[in-house]
Amino acid sequence: MLALVTQPGHPHTTRIEEVPALHAREGEVLVRTLEVGVCGTDREISDGLFGIPPQDEPTLVLGHEALAVVERTGYGFTRGELVTATVRRSCGHCVACAEDSPDSCLTGDYSERGITRLHGYARELVAEDPTQLVAIPKSLGRLGVLAEPTSICERALRHARTIGGRQPWQLERALVIGAGAIGLLMTYLLRLADVEVWTASLEPGNELIEESGASYVSTQDTDLSEVGKFDLVIEAAGNAQLMAHTLGRLRRSGVACVLGIDPREQTVEIDGKVLGVDLILENRVLFGSVNAQRQDWLAGVADLDRAQKRWPEALAQFVKLRVPLDRFREAFEHRGGKATLLLSD
Ligand SMILES: [Zn+2]
Ligand SMILES: [Zn+2]
């Protein structure tokens, strides 16, 4: 069968290749991949900056944002049912993984589908551990391909609410920095919870953001200090300087969460009083969040389904580019909205 493979650590080696046929073993469910989403992580792996192939194998099959269909009934799943699958799997020897929280793994020895030590979904068939499969409701359909980035948002929000909720706190106003897939999904999840949302990005306007009832701020003509302070700030633009500034945009007891990765070698600035005075006197917090655990996947799928029912026309525009697997380069180069690779109809 054909697969999208790459040699981690070797830039520009991503290619379509014939890989050995695959058979589900006892305890596995055979699924057929319909579609995989492409994100910055795939681009980084493809650029040779990230990723680890499975042990004793030269290549890694990409694809961690999966939508698949069950090929053979078993283990609680029925042929024809739509599913997605979690990304990170237990390291097998830490207390977090033992408590089904591999997203908080303490060793770093975890595996991740399509990223770290485990082949991904950019191939026709995958044999999967049924405990890692997540059912996608029929009503959500192909939008189930957004389950992975939504799970990232859900985990961040769950942690933000836990951290904010350590003291009396109300989440009334939120700022989302960045309007890529994560910024867009985060905006809609917060609007579902009836939070007043301001979403900021470089582009002059963004109708999709405004259709959710959020206010869009173009940072080309508006300084973020002009839109007030917030109970929650999410940085999803991948800019370390903007991450440092989030602390200064918080109200009393405010929580800032950073999700965008910025691997550049650099030093960023922060106002000394924001760190030395406001952070303390106003009980503010800045934290990072990665990955997701099963409860976040379930919440993400349920909220995507609710969002689609509330804003059907907007949700239909979330995936901007769908191309067949052999046109993967177009998807990798696409900017401004989610791109996906189609493996099967
Ligand atoms: Zn991704
Ligand atoms: Zn672990």
The answer to whether residue 194 is domain-embedded is yes
Give the ligand with the smallest distance to the CA of 88: 2
**pLDDT: which is higher, 341 or 22:** 341
- What spacing in Å lies between the alpha carbon of 191 and ligand 1's midpoint? 22
The answer to whether residue 87 is domain-embedded is yes
- What spacing in Å lies between the alpha carbon of 185 and ligand 2's midpoint? 28
Give the pLDDT confidence score for residue 98 in this predicted structure: 97
Three-state SS at 134: strand
Q: How many domains does the chain have?
A: 2
The answer to whether residue 304 is domain-embedded is no
Indicate which CATH number applies to the domain containing 110: 3.90.180.10
- What spacing in Å lies between the alpha carbon of 102 and ligand 2's midpoint? 6
Give the pLDDT confidence score for residue 97 in this predicted structure: 98
pLDDT digits 0-9 by tens, 293-319: 999 999 999 999 999 999 999 999 999
Give the ligand with the smallest distance to the CA of 101: 2
At residue 345, does pLDDT exceed 90? no
Give the pLDDT confidence score for residue 337 in this predicted structure: 86
Say if residue 269 is in the same domain as residue 321: no
Say if residue 235 is in the same domain as residue 326: no
pLDDT digits 0-9 by tens, 240-287: 999 999 999 999 999 999 999 999 999 999 999 999 999 999 999 999
Tell me the pLDDT band of 336, cut-offs 50, 70 and 90. confident
Say if residue 83 is in the same domain as residue 180: no
pLDDT digits 0-9 by tens, 154-175: 999 999 999 999 999 999 999 9
Tokens matching residue 289: 């969040």
Say if residue 225 is in the same domain as residue 121: no
Say if residue 128 is in the same domain as residue 9: yes
The environment of the single-atom ion ligand 1, i.e. residues with CB closer than 5 A, is 39, 41, 65
Say if residue 331 is in the same domain as residue 279: no
- What spacing in Å lies between the alpha carbon of 251 and ligand 1's midpoint? 31
Give the pLDDT confidence score for residue 21 in this predicted structure: 85
- What spacing in Å lies between the alpha carbon of 42 and ligand 1's midpoint? 7
Give the ligand with the smallest distance to the CA of 293: 2
Give the pLDDT confidence score for residue 17 in this predicted structure: 96
The answer to whether residue 44 is domain-embedded is yes
Tokens matching residue 137: 């409701």
Taken in order 29, 37, 309, 290, the sign of the CA dihedral is positive
The answer to whether residue 52 is domain-embedded is yes
Tell me the pLDDT band of 201, cut-offs 50, 70 and 90. very high
Say if residue 176 is in the same domain as residue 98: no
> What one-letter code names the amino acid at 277?
V
Q: Please give the biggest Cα pair distance in the chain.
A: 61
DSSP-assigned states of every residue in 72-127:
S-BTTB-TT-EEEE-SEE--SSSHHHHTT-GGG-SSS--EEETTBEE--S-BSEEE
- What spacing in Å lies between the alpha carbon of 105 and ligand 2's midpoint? 4
Percent of the chain residues topping a pLDDT of 70: 100
Say if residue 167 is in the same domain as residue 62: no
- What spacing in Å lies between the alpha carbon of 101 and ligand 2's midpoint? 8
Give the pLDDT confidence score for residue 260 in this predicted structure: 92
Give the ligand with the smallest distance to the CA of 100: 2
Say if residue 156 is in the same domain as residue 129: no
**DSSP conformational letter for 275:** I
The answer to whether residue 253 is domain-embedded is yes
Indicate which CATH number applies to the domain containing 199: 3.40.50.720
Say if residue 183 is in the same domain as residue 159: yes
Say if residue 168 is in the same domain as residue 277: yes
The torsion angles phi and psi of 318, rounded to 5 degrees, stand at -65, -40
Flag the least confident range among 14-23, 80-89, 130-139, 300-309.
14-23
Give the ligand with the smallest distance to the CA of 290: 1
Say if residue 159 is in the same domain as residue 130: no
Domain range enclosing 193? 151-288
CB-CB contact of 222 with 177 (8 Å): no
**DSSP conformational letter for 52:** B
- Strand segments, DSSP code E, in the chain are 2-6, 15-18, 29-38, 60-61, 65-70, 82-85, 88-89, 111-113, 117-118, 125-128, 133-135, 173-177, 196-201, 215-218, 230-235, 250-258, 285-288, 319-324, 338-342
Taken in order 287, 292, 294, 300, the sign of the CA dihedral is positive
> What is the value of pTM for the model shown?
0.96
Average pLDDT, the chain: 96
